[in-house]
């Protein structure tokens, strides 16, 4: 049986899934894929991460807000968005922060780091119509559906990260680590989708070229 091992600051936690290790540190915990990440369904004092999809071949292009371009991004940053092309095989992970309670005066900041044993192809973290590159979170929810229910910005609700002060996201120079700070108001959510390329061992981005992966870089207007 294949298992995913999350290496956390409190030890190793095993989940059914895939056969590589993902290292978590800071204010984040690994969980089983939940039935819902709607408001109030998965409240926790920490950020949470789960596996959405394994070895999925994309049947359509997927818009991402950050292509594998190393850097630190905050609210108002010009993000290196673009597309992961149809036909690419991917794994998908989902970070969800829904702090306990619903008092808009309460805010929680989680400092986290997630290191994968496979390269990150793209990060999807914007959701509001006025900010998102094609409302990318809504448009990529098919990766976790129908097993998980997601909030939709099209319903006038908010779910994105980097859509307010206090959020910081960093993609490492080797392309394997996503880290940062997520600040969440208690009556809102912060969510991030990470798309990775499923290779058996760590490697360089030269492997992406060898695999024939294709990206389309589109600048934001």
Residue 143 CB contacts under 8 Å (≥ 6 apart), including other chains: 52, 53, 56, 62, 92, 193
Comparing 32 with 128, which gets the higher pLDDT?
32
Number of domains making up the chain: 1
- pLDDT of 37 reads 93
Cα 193 from chain centroid? 2
Mean per-residue pLDDT, 135-146: 88
d(CA 219, CA 17): 35
Cα 189 from chain centroid? 13
Is the separation of the CB atoms in 99 and 43 below 8 Å?
Answer: yes
Is the confidence at residue 101, as pLDDT, over 60? yes
Q: Which of 164, 26, 185 is nearest to 106 (CA)?
A: 185
d(CA 168, CA 74): 5
Q: Which residue has the tokens 């609700």?
A: 157
Residue 127 tokens, joined: 């959701």
Residue 156 CB contacts under 8 Å (≥ 6 apart), including other chains: none
185-195: pLDDT as tens digits: 888 889 999 99
17-71: pLDDT as tens digits: 443 458 999 999 999 999 999 988 999 999 999 999 999 999 999 999 999 999 9
Q: What range defines the domain where residue 112 resides?
A: 3-217
Mean per-residue pLDDT, 2-30: 56
Percent of the chain with pLDDT over 90: 53
């Amino acid at each position: 049986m294949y298992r995913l091992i999350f290496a956390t600051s409190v030890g190793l936690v095993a989940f059914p899934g895939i056969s590589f290790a993902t290292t978590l540190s800071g204010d984040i915990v690994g969980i089983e894929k939940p039935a819902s990440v709607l408001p109030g369904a998965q409240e926790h004092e920490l950020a949470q991460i789960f596996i959405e999809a394994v070895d999925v071949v994309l049947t359509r292009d997927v818009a991402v807000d950050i292509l594998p371009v190393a850097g630190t991004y905050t609210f108002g940053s010009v993000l290196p968005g673009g597309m992961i092309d149809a036909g690419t095989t991917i794994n998908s992970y989902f970070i969800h922060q829904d702090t306990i309670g619903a008092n808009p005066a309460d805010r929680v900041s989680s400092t986290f780091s997630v290191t994968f044993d496979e390269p990150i192809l793209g990060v999807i973290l914007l959701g509001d119509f006025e900010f998102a590159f094609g409302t990318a979170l809504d448009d990529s929810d098919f990766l976790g559906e129908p097993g998980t229910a997601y909030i939709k910005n099209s319903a006038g609700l908010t779910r994105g990260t980097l859509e307010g002060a206090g959020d910081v996201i960093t993609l490492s120079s080797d392309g394997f680590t996503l880290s940062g700070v997520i600040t969440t108001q208690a009556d809102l959510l912060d969510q991030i989708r990470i798309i990775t390329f499923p290779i058996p061992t760590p490697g360089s981005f030269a492997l992406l070229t060898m695999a024939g992966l294709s990206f389309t870089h589109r600048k934001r207007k």
